[in-house]
Amino acid sequence: MSAAVDAVVDAVANVQLADAKPRAHDQVITPWEVQGSVAADGKQEGIDYDKLISQFGTRRIDNALLERFERLTGQRPHVFLRRGMFFSHREFDKILDRYEQGKPFFLYTGRGPSSDSMHLGHMVPFVFTKWLQDVFECPVVIQLTDDEKFLFKHELKPEQTKQFSRQNAKDIIACGFNLDKTFIFSNYEYMGGMFYQNVSKISRQITYNQVKATFGFNESDNIGKIHFASIQAAPSFSNSFPHIFGAVSNIPCLIPCAIDQDPYFRLARDIAQKLKYQKPTLIHSKFFPALQGPQTKMSASDPNSSIFMTDKPNQIKKKINAHGFSGGRETEEEHRRLGGDTEVDVAYQYLTFFLDDDEELAKLGEDYRSGTLLTGQPQGKMYFPIAERRTAISEELVDSFMSAQRQISPSCGRAQAQAAPAAVEATV
Amino acid sequence: MSAAVDAVVDAVANVQLADAKPRAHDQVITPWEVQGSVAADGKQEGIDYDKLISQFGTRRIDNALLERFERLTGQRPHVFLRRGMFFSHREFDKILDRYEQGKPFFLYTGRGPSSDSMHLGHMVPFVFTKWLQDVFECPVVIQLTDDEKFLFKHELKPEQTKQFSRQNAKDIIACGFNLDKTFIFSNYEYMGGMFYQNVSKISRQITYNQVKATFGFNESDNIGKIHFASIQAAPSFSNSFPHIFGAVSNIPCLIPCAIDQDPYFRLARDIAQKLKYQKPTLIHSKFFPALQGPQTKMSASDPNSSIFMTDKPNQIKKKINAHGFSGGRETEEEHRRLGGDTEVDVAYQYLTFFLDDDEELAKLGEDYRSGTLLTGQPQGKMYFPIAERRTAISEELVDSFMSAQRQISPSCGRAQAQAAPAAVEATV
């Protein structure tokens, strides 16, 4: 009897221990979960991106690649490339080959509309894709996976996720995409035609075993989830967009996305070969750090972890002060004497991604580290032209970007002459 | 050494035995396989429909139900009802309740277009649905699952199954459906909008475990197959057809189909409750016997088992003579003396389904059994007005039946007054 009581006491003690200190584990990166590893002493670590590159089998974006990019396009690499926000790729070099040869390609990115406002982390691929569109003068397709969010989040209804799609489209449009070369679509609205035909072709090439291995599904998961990979893969293939590419199926795409989306497109690359389509190429970003620090990413479901596009400047300042992981010292006196730590200061980290001026950033960093710039001051430099522009986006403009009833030219800047006739031929 | 040789000899002998005589097994009825049981002595048995009723948990269509039908509609039950071709149902009585109360409902049936010609067995649900449409004056939706055939048959391409859809639509139209109240659709063409929204709602309610248990899938099956049940269930719900029912989601359907399709709709009935939709009701047919006899159904993949709608009258006669299981005797003399067996004669069995005149059928049967009517003569009475009409179906008429761009009235004969305003309200 006493032994049994002891066992219960032990068990309770162990439960409490387990609750008090997170168990040690490796980092977990899937399309639904991003968590840095936890060390044996319970310490939460940052994401190890080098490990991800070797684990996923991607390639690092190195200086040679950036130099070639600059040589070919005549454009200085974007701050996200210079400062390593986009750090990894799959065959980005092949897209540069095509650019050099004047052959067409397109950009594909997307978003799962889980709420009606996007946060700073969500904007990273769009800000970057818009910039790539300006450089390459190429078509862009943007998938809003309102069906996926409905399938994965039991509290949501299709009416809601469709509404989120439209609201998110405004944030995206506010990045400055070229209407003449950009098609934004909601899966609920666009599903059908050649797009659906590609979805079914892709789904015939993927077994339950493969999605189980890739995404960790189990037998209690719904068949919508299990099938969804086919829908995310379909925009990788140019003939999913007859109003842009006609029936041409051999124009490859470049997908700017966060590294956690890579499993979807690894599958898509396998399938491309089987369907005799072009493999999608990828350029991967790091996760945008949460206010609480770089061990996880901003999450829309935790409002305190994120700065939203709809937040007003004074709200942003308050959030950073209240929830932002600070590199400052306990007191002003101590800060002035010892200086702040830019390595961990979240506001400073955000500036490294959004402040294009290298000199200004260097000066800010120096001042902060030396103690002349106080805690709470770096975020004064954060400004959000996108958020300002967003309020001016009309419903009519959203309709225009989301219309599949218009013809979009498949041409790229250098590829204008070659691309147009090919697409015209194919639509005959 | 000698023992090993003996074991091999035994094994080979066993293999040959197994090949020579089919193993005893119970009947197998799934949407993809229909086989009567095989007895211990290797004898192939006919389908046991009573067993199916108790196994599937459906209800027998009895005389009381048929009498009520005749009383309410003023129509004598169709030959398929009188002679037991449609033998089982799920809540057909509730549809009769609605008819009595003047409340609207619709008919839903479908076809997997696996080849460009349909056979006599395929026509059964359409001939019957057309007749029900005439009696009830109600809308009919007909799903052509060209996506399913692509997903399940690796040798086919979407371009082919889409073409089969159009060809099969001609056979179906030739049954005489009312254009003003009939919508025939190919999944590849119609997928999208509210139909797709219902597909995704349904798919969220079905787990991999359920489709595994219902259809016998395994982990090597493709995710398109696994997901397909959602697409077959979606037309059960009225709001999948905004051009007929607007946004009204509470109009139930009656599904005439062969009993092997019941597993799909058992799932659909479960899901209806979860989505707060009306449960689909069903009326089940037996399988149309193959030329080789009643132990299996006609199969399009075995041309000798089937009479196709594109077969000419002399081809039909030849097929029945060459492949039809005959109830006649070995010689004419013997036949005249002993008489034929109508129970097993395939041509006679076919006539029981297609010859409406009870007296004429009785007379034919009598003459055949007495020996005055010879083998090969019953099929002389088989004529195919549908096959004749088919040649007159134009591509334009197919376009009209398959157009979702027109408004179809949701009203039923008796329900005209009540139904129309409801649908108008809902589309506002």
Integer Cα distance of B296 and B48 in angstroms = 11
User: pLDDT tier at B296 (50, 70, 90 boundaries)?
Assistant: low
pLDDT at residue B17, rounded to an integer: 39
- Tell me how far CA of residue B309 lies from CA of B187, B300, B302, in angstroms: 23, 11, 15
What SS3 class is residue A174? coil
Percent of chain B with pLDDT over 90: 57
First to last CA, chain B: 85
CB contact (8 A) between residue B208 and residue A192: no
CB contact (8 A) between residue A226 and residue B229: no
The answer to the question of residue B415 being in a domain is no
Contacts A–B by Cβ distance under 8 A: 117
**Residues 6+ away with beta carbon under 8 Å from B17:** none
User: pLDDT tier at B36 (50, 70, 90 boundaries)?
Assistant: confident
Name the more confident of B423 and A163: A163
pLDDT at residue A314, rounded to an integer: 78
CB contact (8 A) between residue A224 and residue B209: no
The answer to the question of residue B4 being in a domain is no
- Tell me, yes or no, whether A335 and A279 share the same domain: no
Closest CA to B309 of B295, B325, B288: B288
What is the 8-class DSSP label of residue B278? P
Q: Find the mean pLDDT for residues A83-87.
A: 94
Please indicate if any CB of chain A lies within 8 Å of the CB of B158. Answer: yes
Q: What is the CA A22 to chain-centroid distance, rounded?
A: 28
CB contact (8 A) between residue B209 and residue A196: no
* Ramachandran region, residue B155 (left: φ > 0; alpha: ψ -120 to 50; beta: rest): alpha
Integer Cα distance of A50 and A59 in angstroms = 10
In terms of DSSP H, where are the helices of A216-312?
Answer: 223-233, 242-245, 262-274
Q: What is the CA radius of gyration of chain B?
A: 23
Q: How distant is the Cα of B390 from the closest Cα of chain A, in angstroms?
A: 28
Work out whether strand A293-297 and strand A289-290 pair parallel, antiparallel, or are unpaired.
antiparallel
Least confident of A44-53, A207-216, B94-103, B231-240: A44-53
Q: What is the pLDDT of residues A355-400, one digit of tens each?
A: 888 888 888 888 888 888 776 655 555 545 666 778 889 999 999 9
pLDDT at residue B148, rounded to an integer: 97
pLDDT at A291 over 70: yes
Instruction: Indicate the residue of A189, A196, A222 with minimum beta-carbon distance to B206.
Output: A222
- Tell me, yes or no, whether B329 and B367 share the same domain: yes
Is the separation of the CB atoms in A278 and A252 below 8 Å?
A: yes
pLDDT at B16 over 50: no
pLDDT at residue B294, rounded to an integer: 65
Is the separation of the CB atoms in A381 and A349 below 8 Å?
A: no
Name the more confident of A376 and A152: A152
Closest CA to A149 of A228, A34, A74, A46: A228
pLDDT at residue B381, rounded to an integer: 56
- Tell me, yes or no, whether A323 and A273 share the same domain: no
CB contact (8 A) between residue B223 and residue A227: yes
Please indicate if any CB of chain B lies within 8 Å of the CB of A270. Answer: no
pLDDT at residue B384, rounded to an integer: 58
What SS3 class is residue A222? strand
Note which residues in 386-425 of chain A have CB less than 8 A from chain B.
none
From B217, which residue of chain A is nearest by alpha-carbon distance? A208
Residue where one domain finishes, among candidates B260, B290, B320: B290
3-state SS, one letter per residue, for A78-134: CHHHHCCCEEEEECHHHHHHHHHHCCCCEEEEEECCCCCCCEHHHHHHHHHHHHHHH
Residues of A in contact with B196 (CB under 8 A): 147, 188, 191-192
- Tell me, yes or no, whether A167 and A286 share the same domain: yes
**Residues 6+ away with beta carbon under 8 Å from A404:** A183, A185, A190, A243
- Tell me, yes or no, whether A128 and A200 share the same domain: yes
CB contact (8 A) between residue B227 and residue A226: yes
- Tell me, yes or no, whether B116 and B241 share the same domain: yes
User: pLDDT tier at B144 (50, 70, 90 boundaries)?
Assistant: very high
Integer Cα distance of A375 and A370 in angstroms = 12
pLDDT at residue A1, rounded to an integer: 38
Residue A144, amino acid = L
pLDDT at residue B82, rounded to an integer: 94
pLDDT at A50 over 50: yes
Q: How distant is the Cα of B40 from the closest Cα of chain A, in angstroms?
A: 37
Q: Find the mean pLDDT for residues B23-42.
A: 79
**Residues 6+ away with beta carbon under 8 Å from A45:** A27, A36, A37, A38, A39, A295
Q: Find the mean pLDDT for residues A234-263.
A: 96
pLDDT at B305 over 90: no
First to last CA, chain A: 85
User: pLDDT tier at B417 (50, 70, 90 boundaries)?
Assistant: very low
- Tell me, yes or no, whether B120 and B216 share the same domain: yes
Which two structure tokens, joined as six digits, stand for B161?
């199954």
pLDDT at residue A23, rounded to an integer: 65
Least confident of A145-159, A211-225, A285-299: A285-299
Sign of the CA dihedral running A29, A30, A31, A35: negative
Is the separation of the CB atoms in B292 and B320 below 8 Å?
A: no
Is the separation of the CB atoms in B180 and B407 below 8 Å?
A: no
pLDDT at residue A414, rounded to an integer: 65
Note which residues in 52-81 of chain A have CB less than 8 A from chain B.
none
pLDDT at residue A14, rounded to an integer: 43
Task: Output the domain CATH number for residue A315.
Answer: 1.10.240.10
- Tell me, yes or no, whether B66 and B161 share the same domain: yes
Interface test with A, best of B161, B200, B212, B231 (most A CBs within 10 A): B200
Q: What is the pLDDT of residues B58-71, one digit of tens each?
A: 999 999 999 999 99
Q: What is the pLDDT of residues A153-205, one digit of tens each?
A: 999 999 999 999 999 999 999 999 999 999 999 999 999 999 999 999 999 99
Residue B23, amino acid = R
Residue B291, CB-side half-sphere exposure with 13 Å CA sphere: 21
Q: Find the mean pLDDT for residues B39-52.
A: 82
CB contact (8 A) between residue A151 and residue B207: no
- Tell me, yes or no, whether A330 and A260 share the same domain: no
Closest CA to B265 of B133, B417, B91, B44: B91
pLDDT at A236 over 70: yes
Query: How many domains would you assign to chain B?
Result: 2
Q: Find the mean pLDDT for residues A260-269.
A: 93
pLDDT at B146 over 80: yes
Q: What is the pLDDT of residues B181-194, one digit of tens each?
A: 999 999 999 999 99
pLDDT at residue B378, rounded to an integer: 54
Q: Find the mean pLDDT for residues A399-415.
A: 90
Integer Cα distance of B177 and A277 in angstroms = 42
Closest CA to A67 of A55, A75, A57, A58: A75
CB contact (8 A) between residue B205 and residue A212: no
The answer to the question of residue B272 being in a domain is yes
The answer to the question of residue A36 being in a domain is no
Q: Find the mean pLDDT for residues A338-348.
A: 83
- Tell me, yes or no, whether B315 and B174 share the same domain: no
pLDDT at B15 over 90: no
The answer to the question of residue B105 being in a domain is yes
CB contact (8 A) between residue B224 and residue A222: no
The answer to the question of residue B239 being in a domain is yes
In terms of DSSP H, where are the helices of B44-176?
Answer: 49-56, 63-73, 79-82, 92-101, 120-136, 146-152, 158-173
Q: What is the pLDDT of residues B352-386, one digit of tens each?
A: 887 888 888 888 888 888 888 776 655 555 555 66
Integer Cα distance of A65 and B409 in angstroms = 62
Most confident of A130-139, A405-414, B320-329: A130-139
Q: Find the mean pLDDT for residues A334-356.
A: 83
- Tell me, yes or no, whether A198 and A342 share the same domain: no
Residues of B in contact with A188 (CB under 8 A): 196-197, 200
- Tell me, yes or no, whether B270 and B152 share the same domain: yes
What is the 8-class DSSP label of residue B82? H
Determine how many CB atoms are found less than 10 A away from the CB of residue B211.
24
Q: What is the mean pLDDT of chain B?
A: 86
Integer Cα distance of A49 and A162 in angstroms = 34
Least confident of A3-12, A245-254, B249-258: A3-12
Task: Output the domain CATH number for residue A54.
Answer: 3.40.50.620
pLDDT at residue A426, rounded to an integer: 39
Is the separation of the CB atoms in A324 and A290 below 8 Å?
A: no
Q: How distant is the Cα of B364 from the closest Cα of chain A, in angstroms?
A: 50
Note which residues in 192-231 of chain A have CB less than 8 A from chain B.
192-193, 196-197, 200-201, 203-209, 211-212, 217-224, 226-227, 229-230
pLDDT at residue B324, rounded to an integer: 80
Q: Find the mean pLDDT for residues B89-114.
A: 97
Backbone angles phi, psi at B25, to 5 degrees: -155, 160
From A231, which residue of chain B is nearest by alpha-carbon distance? B224
The answer to the question of residue B212 being in a domain is yes
What SS3 class is residue A409? coil
pTM greater than 0.80 (yes/no): yes
Domain, as residue range, for A374? 310-383
CB contact (8 A) between residue A227 and residue B222: no
Interface test with A, best of B198, B204, B218, B270 (most A CBs within 10 A): B204
Instruction: Indicate the residue of B151, B196, B227 with minimum beta-carbon distance to A223.
Output: B227
CB contact (8 A) between residue A224 and residue B220: no
CB contact (8 A) between residue B208 and residue A197: no
**Residues 6+ away with beta carbon under 8 Å from A198:** A234, A237, A239, A240
CB contact (8 A) between residue A204 and residue B224: yes
Interface test with A, best of B146, B155, B219, B223 (most A CBs within 10 A): B223
Q: Find the mean pLDDT for residues B45-60.
A: 90
The answer to the question of residue B27 being in a domain is no
CB contact (8 A) between residue A196 and residue B193: no
Tokens 């397709």, residue? A141
Note which residues in 300-359 of chain B have CB less than 8 A from chain A.
none
- Tell me how far CA of residue B65 lies from CA of B28, B109, B134, B234, in angstroms: 29, 21, 19, 28
Which two structure tokens, joined as six digits, stand for A255?
């997908």
Interface test with B, best of A145, A161, A222, A274 (most B CBs within 10 A): A222
